[in-house]
Structure 1
Amino acid sequence: MAYREHMLHAALALGIIATALAAIALVLAVETYRAQRSALAAPRTQAPRALPVLPRSVDDDGSPAALGPAAFVINPTKVADVARLEEMARTTSRELGLPDPLLFLTTAEEPGRAQAAEAISRGASVVVAAGGDGTVREVARSLVRTGIPMGLIPSGTGNLLARNLDLPLDTVTSLVQTALSGRDMAMDAAWLRLVPPPAERRDPDPGDEADASDGSDAETGPDPEPTPAQPSEHLFLVMAGTGFDAATMADTDEGLKRRIGWVAYFLRAVRHLGARRTRLAMKVGHGSWRTYRVRTLLFANCGRLPAGIVLLPDAEIDDGYLDIAAVDTRGWLFGWVSLFWRVMLQGLGWRREMPYDAASIDFLRGRTATVALDQPEPVQVDGDVVGEAVELHVRIEESGLVVRVRR
């Protein structure tokens, strides 16, 4: 009887702890969502700050060369007030002495890549992606290796790239000003090629046979030469992964995301806490194959998540390396509670291993990685599920993209 009472008390205590952690996570999520919504709802009458003068290039005769117009690629399903944003783009361009901006709206058929390509052909000096992470990724795909900077007006669910670049998310006015008059910074671009299950495979394009896994790891070998993107590759700027995170995103309803933001992921994640662990083999760079059994496998270009959570503390957006996290938990709920505390503590600088820990995170770094999965698993890039795969080939392209950040 005493043993049963002891187990009952232990289970009750664990339930209380888990409930408290869930409440904390939910509060953080709600506060982040409110801050995001308040930024997008900033009043039109807000006076803009003084704008710096943009540097201008020089023509052959030594006279200042005129800057081309800014281009705005706007996703009307994500931006709450398209007319307001277009007017802000015109006003700020005129204040900076720029030509009137080029304005493009995305569609379901053309989600941003074609619009960005047209902007480049028309001499745009900067291309601003206004929308969610998907819009940003589509615009960036056209800008990789061009040297033309990309500005950001984030208005989607997570806006993780904007947070990792420390953009001013307080008002849309600040974001527009930064996009048009900020500092240019080179960041890495990451690419993922998935191999679908045999039943889903199609005849490959000629370029698909190129092995995107060639390259060097963080310790040995020369820097890889830039590799042109293959038709089957997916660009990601923040994180890609498979396992728990991809399954959660695949299960999250778009309508729910529109209503409550990234909190929707938190609510759907509960369904997958007890799902089977993913079995895989992975080779990083020129290293040896290693087997893993994980809850989730993540490839990161940068490491900050919503609510200030730092999942990969060593990840840098411009260091030329992928940061990889093989995350595992054991003991069901106890394992997830342990993982939550581990992530919180490492964000504060605590990186020591804990005895009898029910969660583990193996960190690896390299320029390329190849993964073989024991069964088809969903794969996500920057929060969008791109299909199921039995193999993954991931690589980093150092300084592949130029972005506008605050001065």
Structure 2
Amino acid sequence: MHTKTNILFIINPISGGRGKLRIPDFIDKYLDKEKFNANFVFTEYVGHASELADEAASKNFDVIVAAGGDGTINEVATKVLKHNIVLGVLPLGSGNGLARFLNIPKNLRHAILAINAFKVDRIDTAEFNNKCFFNLAGMGFDAHLSSAFSKDKKRGLAGYVKLGFQEVFNYKAEQYLISIDGIDYKRKAFAVSVANSSQYGNDVYISPNASVKDGLLDVCIIKPFSILKLPVLSYIMLKGTAETSDMIEIIRGKNIKIQREHAGPVHVDGEPLQMGAEIEINISPLSLKVIVP
């Protein structure tokens, strides 16, 4: 008699703006009971997924599945990494940047079948001033926007776009001193994103050739531009042509330090945070075990 794998599904009931209360029944229907003992738990507040994952890892759960968006994945993966167990992902967020990169199906049944197949791969993880990130982190306009958006209660894509248009007219590019593997770059930038994977989510590519398996981070510097070129920038990101665009400079490396003019907002896997003027970013190659199709 082989022993079953203990698996915990941590479900964010509000990610992606859809109700999730029937998800456990759905998972139960398709999950392989010969292989897994499944447990389900719903998160109730920001940071809860992290606490639940920490607790589960110390109670001999071997696999923890984040059922939610990039924020839920970040909380769960941070603890999975710490305890060296296996991460599963059911992409239920609005953007699903990392899940898209790993080709985890958006279709829930297919994503569960991928968990049944249990193919485990390893991916790079990174730290942004000691806070783990798996997809993207950064500062500048997008961080400013996330920060403003988190204070705005009318959430949703339409609200985000509307706010973006209001803010983009007033936002001023800032000076950054960026050190990448010992080489210094002085840049004025509209935004600086550090990419482990290639996209923000929703197939918006900041660094089309980024890989979570190359041991490198892509520092993507969006240069200051005239507001008339905003549609061009959007098109570049949707088409995945940032590598060849003169609006974005991409420099790859392992150890990165960024000094900006003052403390302020940053975003780490989509979560808005406040950090100091100096930021240190490192990568840990192939450090996270994750189930992939």
**Common fold by TM > 0.5:** yes
Residues 100/89 of structure 1: CA separation in 2 closer, same or farther (3 Å cut): farther
1:73/1:103 contact within 8 Å kept: yes
Alignment of 1:3-402 (within 5 A): 65-78=2-15, 80-93=18-31, 95-108=32-45, 110-144=47-81, 146-170=83-107, 172-193=108-129, 233-253=130-150, 255-257=153-155, 260=156, 262-274=157-169, 275-287=171-183, 289-331=184-226, 333-343=227-237, 347=240, 351=244, 353=246, 360-402=247-289
Residues 316/97 of structure 1: CA separation in 2 closer, same or farther (3 Å cut): same
Report the secondary structure of 1:317's partner residue: coil
Instruction: Could you tell me which runs of 5 or more consecutive residues in structure 2 were left unpaired when the two chains were aligned.
Output: none
Residues 117/282 of structure 1: CA separation in 2 closer, same or farther (3 Å cut): same
2:242/2:248 contact within 8 Å kept: no
Residues 344/86 of structure 1: CA separation in 2 closer, same or farther (3 Å cut): closer
2:243/2:250 contact within 8 Å kept: no
Cα RMSD, aligned residues only:
2.4
CA distance in 2, matches of 1:350, 1:234: 27
1:157 CA displacement: 2.6
Question: Which TM-score applies when normalising by structure 1?
Answer: 0.66
| Percent sequence identity over aligned pairs | 23
2:198/2:208 contact within 8 Å kept: yes
Report the secondary structure of 1:329's partner residue: coil
Whichever structure has more strand as a proportion of its residues is 2
Question: Which TM-score applies when normalising by structure 2?
Answer: 0.89
1:244 CA displacement: 0.6
Count of residues paired in the alignment: 290
1:352 CA displacement: 6.3
Report the secondary structure of 1:143's partner residue: helix
Deviations 1:72-129 (A, max 9, x none): 1122333845442212333334x44034312222232752122112222232232111
2:203/2:238 contact within 8 Å kept: no
Amino acid in the other structure paired with 1:383: G
Deviations 1:280-325 (A, max 9, x none): 11101122x2211100000000112444332212200111111011
Amino acid in the other structure paired with 1:177: L
Residues 396/265 of structure 1: CA separation in 2 closer, same or farther (3 Å cut): farther
1:365 CA displacement: 0.7
1:192 CA displacement: 0.4
1:176 CA displacement: 2.2
Instruction: Report the structure number with the largest CA radius of gyration.
Output: 1
1:405 CA displacement: 1.5
CA distance in 2, matches of 1:156, 1:290: 35
